[in-house]
Every structure is written in C-alpha cells, then in structure tokens.
Chains A and B, each alone.
Chain A
Amino acid sequence: MVEVKKRLKGLGEEVLKNIDLGKNPDIDIPVRSLSNVIYDEKTKQLTLGDKVSKRFLFNVAHAKPFMQTMLVASLCKELQEQGIHTSLRDLFYALKRTLPNSDENTFDEQRESDPIVVDLEVTLDLLREQLHLNADVRGRVVGNVVIKDRGDVIDWSRLGSGGWAIPSNVEELIFKKANAKYILVMEKNAAFERLHEDKFWQKQNCILVTTQGQAARGPRRLIQRLSTEFKLPVYVFTDADSYGWYIYSVIKYGSISLAHISERLGCPTAKFIGLTISDIDEFKLHDFTIKAKEVDIKRAHEMLRYDWFKHPAWQKELKLMVERKVKAELEALSGRGLKFMTEVYLPTKIKKKEFLP
C-alpha cells in the first residue's frame, strides 16, 4: 500500500523536477499496441516490449492527455490516502467537469478516462486493483466450489438459477473446496443459462463460467487461479467467428491492450472446444449459419497475421471463415434441438478430446 502511494508521488515529483528546471515535463508510457506486443512461444503469453512513448505537457497534441493523466493520478492518490475503492465509471464522473472559461470538459466520455487508467497502470507498473480501481463487474460462475470472500463463505452449487457474480477483484478470494474435472468457459450468457438449467455442471462435474462477451479481468483471474490452484483443464466455448475466437485467445494468452499483466491473467493451458467452422460440417449446422459481415472478415484477416494464431488448425479455421464468408453462433446448436448442446455436442467433443490449441 505504501509502495503504491510512493509511486504516485514519484510520478508527481518527476514532473515537478522538470518544471523546476524549466524543462517540458514528460511522462514515459509503455506503448500498448500490436507493434510493442511480443508473443512468447514458450510461456504462451503476450508480453509488452520496451517501446515507450513520451507524453509532453507543452505539445498541443499531448497537452490534454497529459493533464488527464495527472488528474487520474491525483485521484488515485486520494483513494489510497482515504483507503477506499471506486469503479472506473465513478472515477470518470469524479473527474468530469467543464474547464473554467471554456466549453471544454476534462473528460467527455468514459471511453477517454479508461485508457488513461491503463496508461497509469503500465507507467507505474501497478495493477488497477492496486490503484483501488475496480473494473466492471461482469461474468458469473456455478459449480461444486466453496469459497470465502470478505469473510463470507459461499457455495457456488447452492446459488439458485443466477450463479455467483464474479467481482472485479478476486485477489483476496480464498478457495475452500473445489470438486470438478474441468472448467467450461463460455462467451454467452444464453449458453450458460442452458447448461445451468440442464444441470450440465452436476452431470459432468465441472465449473461453468460465462464471461458475458469479452472477458473482464475478474473472470480471467478467477479462471487462472482455479486452473492453476486445482490443476483443472480449461475449455473455452465461443461463437464460430473471429470475435469469439479472439475472446478465447485473450483468456489463453492475454490481450494486446493488457499485455503488461498477461502473467497474472493469462491461462496458457486453456483449450478451445468450439464452435469452429469445421463443426458446421461435422454437426450439420448448415441451416443455422449466418453470413459473415465485412468487419468479421476484416478481423479474421488481421488475426491470420497474429503470431498466436499461427497454428495450422487456427489458420485453417480462419481461412475457412474468410473463404465461406460464414459464421455460426452458439445458438446454432439449438437448431438441432434444444438439448443438442448439452447432450450431444459438448459430451462428444470432450469425450473425443476434439480441441483446438
């Protein structure tokens, strides 16, 4: 805790030193773009390179982000001093105001303040959670697991139809018991509801996690902790399209924008269970596919170039998608019958160990 405060103060002192010297103050921010992201074949992780961009105060293009970075940093220092946490949304509202004698706001949208927070994380080499900032709460889980969170003992198998909502910070969580053979992670809420209602996790003895779209930090860290602490295999279940597959890659390797914390969030042992374009043939889903849009195809072309998608199996799926201009959502399985997913598709895949790396 002291360390966090010291780093924030250090950032201010660095700026102040330049001001005292009459030099244009600057902040060194590690670059978070594809050009500075390295895929490590051995650890199967995306990590940040050493490219740094300088953000100057006296530069028309940098001045505003510089000011915004300072505003976020000073608010984070307040959070530390008062020992409280806040969400990204709250932080945005706490800092949003109109600058005197103008019609310009410090921040117009949360889309502006979110990346500044990440800038600060990489610059100070601190986690958002350490800065007392909570990410959005998204994602739910069910299974034969008992945990302790802020003193409360919670049994994930006795939470009714809703399951347990995963908080953004799972660092302090203690696992008391976990009885499962694997973790099944899915992108979609609807699929989660289906599997939960069909008591899939009881029948298969597994843990079900829904990320509800792109995986937030809480679920990613939770999956990583469960899989390492209990040595459980992780199977990821998404739509058969470029965006679904990318969600899988983020869970497994980390993301480009958060490459600096892949180590804490990545789950290199994760495997992809489906859907694939090949599944359309294998499980006769032809009647339930969707025509791929321009953006889907464009994204697939980009992913074909990513190092962590160079495996022939993935290249094949991406190329199939580009060639056929087709995609399939998890719901396509329901086309073959409402219980096709739980009774045929998933058991077949798991039994045959038909996974993509």
Chain B
Amino acid sequence: MVGETIAKTAEELAKDQRQISVSEFFEKNRHLLGYDNATRALLTVIKELVDNSLDACEESRILPRIWIEVKANGTDRFRVMVKDNGPGMTDKQIPLALGKLLYGSKFFRLRQSRGTQGIGASGAILYSQLTTGKPTNIISSTGNGKSSYYEVMIDVKKNEPEVVSHQFINDGKVWHGMKVEMEIEGRFIESKQSVPEYIKQVAIANPYADIIFDGPNGKLEFSRSANEMPPLPKEIMPHPHGVELGILRRMLKSTKSRTIASFLTNDFSRVGSGTAKDICELAGIDPKISPQRLEIEDSEKLFKAMQKAKLVRPPTDCLSPLGEDLLIKGLKKEFNAEFYAAVTRPPEVYRGNPFQVEVAVAYGGELPQEGTAKIMRLTNRVPLLYQEGDCAITKSIAATDWRRYGLTQSGRSLPVGPAVVMVHLASVWVPYISESKQAIASYPVIIKEIKLALQEIGRRLYKHVAGKRRAEMQRKRREIFDRYLPEVANAVAKLTNKKPEPILNKLMNMIKKSTKAVVDGRGKEETKGSG
C-alpha cells in the first residue's frame, strides 16, 4: 500500500455526501413502491388515486362514486384520470397534499385506512413527471360554488410542490370532489394482474361504491349493491408494543408533550401515569425530561423498556371490518354462484397492532369447474394483486385442508374447484413485506386467525357441498328406478298375464310418493332365518 496515492481524502468524500430528499430517494428506488415496470406502474398509479378517493369519501360518510379513465396516448403512454364525489380539498391544501411526499393526514395516527405512508398520490405525480415531464392537473371543489384548478409538479431536491399553474374557476357550479389527471408511461393489459382486474376487485371489496371504468378497450360499470358503509373506524394512539424504534424517535421529536411521562400517557394508548413511571424506571430515564432532549441511546433504552412493559391490549374499536353482509353482497355482485358465506373473526393483536380477519367464499353456479379456486386478497378493503406466493393469506389457504370441505387439493397447494375465496385483513398497521404493499408478512397470530376463519367457512361450505351431493345421489337413484321400473312392469305383466301399463303407473306413483324413504337402502340384501 505504501507509495500509493489516495484518490480521494476522507474530507473530500464528506463533501460529496449530502442529505437526499425523500423525492430523490423515490426517484432512485421506484421499484420499492410498485413502479418497477410499465404494466405495474399503470396499476399503481390508479390504485393510489382510487385509494385516496375511497378514503376521502368514507371519512366524510359519502357513498363513493368513482370515475376512472385510462386512455392511450401513443404506444406506451396513457392519460389517467380519477374523479370522485368526496369532500374535496381546500385550495391551499391541494399542492401540499399532493405535491410533497410523506405529507399527509394519516401518518402519525393509527386508524384503519387504505393509505398510510403519505407516498401514494404524490408518488404517482412524481412518476408521471419522471416519465413524461408533464405536470399533473387537479380540480377540486368543496361544494362552495368555487373550483380550484392546479397544475402541479414536485421539486425533487426540496420535496416541495411546484405549482405550474393555479386558478379559481368561479362558474357557480356546486359540486364537491376531486379530479386528478396525469399522463404516464405505462402498459395496459387485461389479465390476472391488471387494471381491470384490480377495479373489479375494488368493486367487490367496496360494494357500497359506484365505480365506472372507461379503459382503452371500453367501459365497465360496477354499480353499488349496498347503501350502507361500514362504520368509520376510530383513531387510536399507537400501542407501545407496536412502535418501531425509528417511529418512536420521530414521535419524540414532533410531540407536543413536555415530559417523557406525559409523552407516554398522551401519545400512546393503554399507558397510564403509573405505567409511564414504571417504563421510565425500567429504562433508567428521568420521567420529567423533555422528549426532544432525549439522547439517542436513551431513546433506545426507552424503546426496550416499552416492549418489556406489561400492558393491556390495544383497543380494537379502531377497526372497521366489512362485515359478513357486505362481504357477501360484494361477491354476489361479480360472481354468479349458488352458495355464499362469510365469516368475520373477532379482533386480534399482533405486536401491539389490532387486526381483524374476514373470509368469504362463493361456490358453484357459473364459477369455472376447472382449475384452482380464485383467491382474492384484501387489506383494509384494498385488493392485492402481486406477490401472491409470499403472502400470509395465500400461505394460510394452501395450509388448510380443503379436501375436508368438499374441494379438491393436491398436497399443500391452492384448492381446486368452482370457488372464490376472499380474505380481508383489516388493521391499523398492516405488516406488508415491502413498501409496495402487495403481500402480508407471516406473523403466526395472523396465519392462525386466517386459518381459523377459513376452517369455519370451510365447514359451512362442506354442509352445502354435502347437501348438494346428497341431492345429486337422490337424483341418480331416481334415474335408476326410472330406468328399471318399465322393465319390471313388463316382466310382471308377462308372468301374470296382465297389461303392463297399469302396473307401471302404480310403480311410478309409489316412487313419486316416497323417493326418499324408499331409496335409502344401502348395500347388502338383508338376511333373516336361523342359518
């Protein structure tokens, strides 16, 4: 090594280092967020915009009506528009809400909602800007007769909105809602992991929404089949067992509480002053110290103490499952089956986060007889289309013995038969295996809950299938007699020198009266006598 010249000194290297903004990070790591290829990017853009629209409507208790338009503009470019009848946004809010990543109303609260990361819509805008260089157009009104029109881009370095154009439209039209329109690079397909499939599943998972999809290949309308929405979930503070160290540090920085003790009681659920004192003692921290002043090492000690503390489970009224009725209504809307059933499990908790599992099945009817059952995975009413094999839902379905419930299955694989299996996981914090939010991590308690729900639904399914088989058996038995009786009547007529018709009539009457009673014989001819 001696004698070699060092190309760059440590000092020089340090100069090169600078903080990169979230937007820059996104630009470089867009695959993490679901923009890894053109097909998926188109789907992700629509998913983010639709998620926002549905969340906004539900929060304002408005029955959602969503218009989605995807029109080709050249071979690999699409103009995407999503419009809703939600509450709309105030003029000032618009550029911030959409033009800045990690800004959002949903980040530090814990409530079951579709988006949580503050990346969704702004990520889509960023993607549009990266691939086409064009701003995104937004029109919104809150119902006051005024509409705001924005053309927005994102300043990647500063992670700040860049308003290209802004004007009020005072046309006196009274409406509320929001319309987002952008141009992106993408690819449109119509298969399993496609935009139409996604929208169809959204319609099933949100049966109280009207959805109109005007795509490159024509228009699809999904009318609402229910007029009631699930109740609005309550917000809760995070449970100490459910926070990550990074989040705890951010909370420490941004809290309004003056002391660690009050931080613990105010910003978390299930922590009273006694417990707060215990936690501080365990961590060896002065409870009166200001959260902002806490040293990095101490925050780690605090984190560990919080994990160790014995606490009541988090409240579960923050969850809003669809409920068995809506689950079935959703399935009925899109699948013409002969049997439907749904199960909503009681809430459970993984690592301090409440969650709840729901399962619904449709069976028979016009569902395809061949091939594996259709699997639908939902988290907080959002369909998941990618990474099926890595998902706790898929794993739980494959680990369930469907042969006991009337479907076929080879080994530990997905069941085969005319069935749709829909699994919904509602949680304030869904443990996805990656930021693109397409697969649920396999926490044992989550797998257990899904399996219990599947088993219960399986038992109901089996009752139906068994009943159907019995009916089929009855029909076959009937057929047997219909076939044999004329022969018997003829033979008996010959033996007794009578006419066969009256004999046959009598036999046919007998079977009509008592197919069931008479046809239940099994197996061997009965024997009597002493032998």
**A66 on interface, CB distance cutoff 8 Å:** yes
Question: Which B residues from 445 to 497 make CB contacts under 8 A with A?
Answer: 477, 479-481, 483-484, 486-488, 490-492, 494-497
CA distance A20 to B477 in the complex (A): 23
> Interface readout for A1-40 with B: 1 if CB under 8 Å, 0 if not?
0000000110111011001101010000101000110000
**Contacting pair A56 B488 (CB below 8 A):** no
**Contacting pair B496 A12 (CB below 8 A):** yes
| Interface residue from B481, B486, B491, B529 paired with A100 (Cβ < 8 Å) | B486
Residues from chain A with Cβ under 8 Å of B527 in the complex: 31, 51-54
CA distance A227 to B59 in the complex (A): 107
CA distance A64 to B484 in the complex (A): 7
Residues from chain B with Cβ under 8 Å of A56 in the complex: 521, 525
Question: Which B residues from 482 to 531 make CB contacts under 8 A with A?
Answer: 483-484, 486-488, 490-492, 494-498, 503, 506-507, 510-511, 514, 518-519, 521-531
**Contacting pair B506 A60 (CB below 8 A):** no
> Interface readout for A98-129 with B: 1 if CB under 8 Å, 0 if not?
01111010100000000000000000000000
CA distance A52 to B531 in the complex (A): 9
Chain B residue at minimal CB-CB distance from A76:
B495
**Contacting pair B495 A74 (CB below 8 A):** yes
Assuming the contacts A63-B480, A70-B487, asked whether A19 and B492 have C-beta atoms less than 8 A apart, the reply is yes
Residues from chain B with Cβ under 8 Å of A283 in the complex: none
**A294 on interface, CB distance cutoff 8 Å:** no
Assuming the contacts A58-B519, A62-B521, asked whether A49 and B495 have C-beta atoms less than 8 A apart, the reply is no
Which of B480, B507, B514, B519 neighbours the largest number of chain A CB atoms within 10 Å of its CB?
Answer: B480
Residues from chain B with Cβ under 8 Å of A13 in the complex: 495-496
**Contacting pair A58 B521 (CB below 8 A):** yes
CA distance A67 to B522 in the complex (A): 17
Chain B residue at minimal CB-CB distance from A5:
B495
CA distance A300 to B122 in the complex (A): 88
Interface size class of B (residues with CB under 8 A): 35 or more
> Interface readout for A61-82 with B: 1 if CB under 8 Å, 0 if not?
1111011001101100110000
Residues from chain B with Cβ under 8 Å of A61 in the complex: 521-525
**Contacting pair A9 B496 (CB below 8 A):** yes
**Contacting pair A63 B481 (CB below 8 A):** yes
**Interface residues of B, dominant DSSP:** helix
**Contacting pair B519 A70 (CB below 8 A):** no
Chain B residue at minimal CB-CB distance from A65:
B525
CA distance A31 to B529 in the complex (A): 10
Interface size of A in residues (CB-CB distance below 8 Å): 45
**A228 on interface, CB distance cutoff 8 Å:** no
Residues from chain B with Cβ under 8 Å of A60 in the complex: 477, 480, 519, 521-522
Chain A residue at minimal CB-CB distance from B519:
A60
Assuming the contacts A54-B528, A55-B525, asked whether A63 and B484 have C-beta atoms less than 8 A apart, the reply is yes
Residues from chain B with Cβ under 8 Å of A16 in the complex: 492, 496, 498, 503
**Contacting pair B510 A58 (CB below 8 A):** yes
**A229 on interface, CB distance cutoff 8 Å:** no
Chain A residue at minimal CB-CB distance from B517:
A58
CA distance A70 to B494 in the complex (A): 10
**A57 on interface, CB distance cutoff 8 Å:** yes
Assuming the contacts A16-B498, A73-B495, asked whether A51 and B519 have C-beta atoms less than 8 A apart, the reply is no
**Contacting pair A9 B519 (CB below 8 A):** no
**A59 on interface, CB distance cutoff 8 Å:** yes
CA distance A62 to B490 in the complex (A): 18
**Contacting pair B531 A70 (CB below 8 A):** no
**A50 on interface, CB distance cutoff 8 Å:** yes
**Contacting pair A67 B526 (CB below 8 A):** no
Chain B residue at minimal CB-CB distance from A71:
B491
Chain B residue at minimal CB-CB distance from A35:
B531
| Interface residue from A8, A22, A104 paired with B495 (Cβ < 8 Å) | A8
Assuming the contacts A49-B531, A50-B531, A99-B483, asked whether A70 and B506 have C-beta atoms less than 8 A apart, the reply is no
**Contacting pair A62 B525 (CB below 8 A):** yes
**Contacting pair B495 A50 (CB below 8 A):** no
A311: shortest Cβ distance to chain B, in Å? Answer: 24
B511: shortest Cβ distance to chain A, in Å? Answer: 7
**Contacting pair A49 B530 (CB below 8 A):** yes
**Contacting pair A53 B488 (CB below 8 A):** no
**Contacting pair A58 B518 (CB below 8 A):** yes
Residues from chain A with Cβ under 8 Å of B503 in the complex: 16, 19
Across the A-B interface, the 7 shortest Cβ-Cβ residue pairs: A12-B495, A59-B521, A70-B491, A51-B529, A58-B518, A74-B491, A74-B494
Given A20-B506, A31-B531, 9 more A-B residue pairs with CB atoms under 8 Å apart are A12-B495, A15-B492, A15-B495, A31-B529, A36-B529, A49-B530, A50-B530, A53-B527, A56-B521
